[in-house]
């Protein structure tokens, strides 16, 4: 009788651990999505800044060429 009780407890612990692992995996997946989104965002910000600098340089060149 005692063996069955221990087996049931071990099974419940394994179920709980499995559920916790699934939740951790979900959290990790969500963190990966956020990191990926941040990488894309930083790339867009970088490209935008480079375009702004290019436009400013072209504007300066035009101003100097008229002098």
Q: Is the pLDDT of residue 62 over 70?
A: no
How sure is the predictor about 4, in pLDDT bands with cuts at 50, 70 and 90?
confident
Instruction: Tell me the C-alpha distance between 15 and 7, whole Å.
Output: 12
Confidence (pTM): 0.64
As a residue count, the chain comes to 67
Neighbours of 30 (CB within 10 A): 10
Task: Convert the pLDDT of each residue in 12-36 to its tens digit.
Answer: 999 999 999 999 999 999 999 999 9
Structure tokens at 33: 């999505």
Angstrom CA distances, 58 to 51, 52, 63, stand at: 10, 10, 9
């Amino acid at each position: 009788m005692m063996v069955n009780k221990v087996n049931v407890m071990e099974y419940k612990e394994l179920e709980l651990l499995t559920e916790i692992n699934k939740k951790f995996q979900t959290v990790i997946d969500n963190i990966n999505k956020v990191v990926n989104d941040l990488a894309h965002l930083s790339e867009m910000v970088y490209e935008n800044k480079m375009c702004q600098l290019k436009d400013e340089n072209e504007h300066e060149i035009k101003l100097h060429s008229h002098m």
